[in-house]
Amino acid sequence: MTTSEDWIWITLIPERLNFCDREGALRTERRRNQPHKNNLAKDFERDLLRDQNAMKAEAATMLYFSCQGIPVTWDLGDQPGKADINDDIDAKLISTFKHRLIMQLDACLDWYYVLCCNEQHPRYCLLGWALGHDIKRLAPIRELQVNRPAYVLENDYLQPMRKLVTILKRQDSQ
């Protein structure tokens, strides 16, 4: 369980924000003719904003791990079945602190899901993380949007980011 004392704040500078907007637009364009997963209807303007915002959450997550001395590779292309960062870290964005971590039913259970809030943009808050296996075990399946069931994890179950740093450093040393 995390508290506000465990939260990590990352401020994205204008150059990084512009980079994320450009890369988010490229991501949207690359996927223009691909259907969304989980029954989401296509809407170019909404998809553009979602991709640009997702890139900012990924950037904040990537910068945090990089500052902690963890080597990072950022998948800018958002390839289906590939994690955002390294091989096993996926950044999940929420727009307000009252929202929860949502994981699709077919998501990879071996990944670490980091919850990032952009309510105080350009300051991004990493609230914590959960492993996919734990999300599946702890989170109920809810249909927050019609025909889009997903696991919805209460924030009480999030682990502190420092614990994930310890796990990743241990993995890196093996």
pLDDT tens, per residue, the chain with 174 residues: 788 999 999 999 999 999 999 999 999 998 887 776 666 778 889 999 999 999 999 999 999 999 999 999 998 876 777 899 999 999 999 999 999 999 999 999 999 999 999 999 999 999 999 999 999 999 999 998 888 899 999 999 999 999 999 999 998 877
Select from 77, 166, 65 the least CA-distant residue to 114: 65
| Cα end-to-end distance, the chain, whole Å | 27
The DSSP code for 159 is B
Q: Is the pTM of this model over 0.75?
A: yes
- The predicted pLDDT at position 42 comes to 81
Domain boundaries, the chain: 4-173
The structure tokens 């369980």 sit at 1
Cβ neighbours, 10 Å, residue 23: 21
Q: Are residues 88 and 98 in contact, defined by beta-carbon separation less than 8 angstroms?
A: no
